[in-house]
Amino acid sequence: MTADAIPLQAFLTVAAFLFCIGVWGLINSRNAVRVLMSIELMLNAVNLTFVTVGRAMSDIDGQAIVFFVMVVAAAEVVVGLGIIVSIMRRRSGVNVDDLSELKG
């Protein structure tokens, strides 16, 4: 089965499903690592949508945008995990509700 045999609606459905899982994880999670994972899942769903629409339009712009989104996502993971590791060294856990104390 080639990629041409799979309809574009299937890719968009998977992307919507991934995005909904990411939103659900973002809303219901109290752990900061799970929040970052949910954001990454949402970004990957958007990437899949960009590639699908770019393929439907026979344009490479969607893939170029995905490259920049992946760079931003990698930077977000590095900064986010750095903050989480520094917080975990001072506290026993990484609860998102406890992060409000960091306001200064």
pTM: 0.81
Q: Is residue 13 part of a domain?
A: yes
The per-residue pLDDT for range 2-44, each reduced to its tens digit, is 656 789 999 999 999 999 999 999 999 888 888 889 999 999 9
Domain that holds residue 45: 7-94
pLDDT at 100 over 70: no
The CATH number of the domain where 32 resides is what? Answer: 1.10.287.3510
Asked if 54 and 61 count as a contact pair (C-beta separation under 8 A), the reply is yes
5: DSSP letter: G
For residue 15, what are its two tokens?
């992307």
Q: Is residue 20 part of a domain?
A: yes
Rounded distance between C-alpha atoms, residue 42 and residue 47, angstroms: 9
- At 58 the three-state DSSP class reads coil
Q: CA dihedral defined by 28, 73, 19, 97, rounded to 10 degrees? A: 10
Q: Does residue 42 form part of some domain? A: yes
Alpha-carbon dihedral 13, 15, 21, 27, rounded to 10 degrees: -120
Structure-token pair, residue 28: 């219901």
99 in any annotated domain: no
Tally of domains within the chain: 1
What does the alpha-carbon distance between residue 96 and residue 28 come to, in Å, rounded to a whole number?
Answer: 11
How large is the average pLDDT for residues 46-63?
91
**Residue 103 located in a structural domain:** no
Q: Do the domain assignments include residue 47?
A: yes
CB of 58 closer than 8 Å to CB of 24:
no
